[in-house]
Every structure is written in C-alpha cells, then in structure tokens.
Amino acid sequence: MNKEKQKVNGIINEIINFLLEHNATEIRIELSETGNYINIQIDSNLFIKDEKIIKDLKNKLNVDRLQEIEEYYWELIGYKHNPNNLYLVGMMIDKFHIDYKPFIGLKIILYRAKETNKPNEKDKGEMR
C-alpha cells in the first residue's frame, strides 16, 4: 500500500476509534475521489448525551493542514488511540463537514487534497 493510502487508512481508523469509544454500534464508510480531493464519509448511529463532544470533535478537526507535521507524525494515527490524535487528523485534511442528529446519528465527511495538489489555506474549516 502506498503512503497516501496508508494516510487515508490512518484517518479512517482514527475516526472509527472515536466512534467506538463513544459506543457507536453501526458504522458505514464511503471513500471516493472527486476532482482534486479524496472524500471520506463516515455515517454512524452514534447517540451523544453531551453535545460538547461534537463541539470538541469540530475543534480538533478545525486546525490548519500542516504537511510538514503530517510527514513526520502521520504514522501515529489510527493504531494507538489517543484523543489528541484527532488534531493530527485535522492537520491531514483540508475541509470537513459534521452533521449530528440526535436519535439518528453522526455523519462526518472529510476532504483531503490529493498529495499532488496544494491546499488552499482559506478553505480550511467546517463546510456548511
């Protein structure tokens, strides 16, 4: 598996770790490529009693993509779970969208520019 695929795999594993930690019992993953982006959509039946958990997840993902940091630390994500690894996921993606509906579940969509493309820094953050 090439390095880019390993990075995407680590991102997916880290989000799955988060969902399992919060007792999700159904998780669906869709991976696709659109234009210059790799899109990762993860749907779950996650039920959260404290909306602060969703706010914390958004804060951790909403950090600038730092390819220099990514190059050194990407191997840490997805395998040895640490809640701070979600910050590393944020440094490895360009955009994200989170949709939480109580009693329905959590949808997370992550957008990662392909390695050959330079991300546009002003685009970082949650999409509405």
Looking at residue 128, its pLDDT comes to 39
Question: How many structural domains is the chain composed of?
Answer: 1
Q: What is the DSSP string of the chain?
A: --HHHHHHHHHHHHHHHHHHHTT---EEEEEEEETTEEEEEEEE----S-THHHHHHHHHH-S---HHHHHHHGGGTTTS--TTHHHHHHHH-SEEEEEEETTTEEEEEEEEE-TTS---GGG-SB--
pLDDT grade, residue 122 (50/70/90)? very low
The answer to the question of residue 41 being in a domain is: yes
The answer to the question of residue 53 being in a domain is: yes
Q: Is 126 a residue whose pLDDT tops 70?
A: no
- The CATH number for 105's domain is 3.30.565.10
Parent domain of 96: 3-113
pLDDT grade, residue 68 (50/70/90)? confident
The answer to the question of residue 122 being in a domain is: no
Q: Is 101 a residue whose pLDDT tops 50?
A: yes
The answer to the question of residue 126 being in a domain is: no
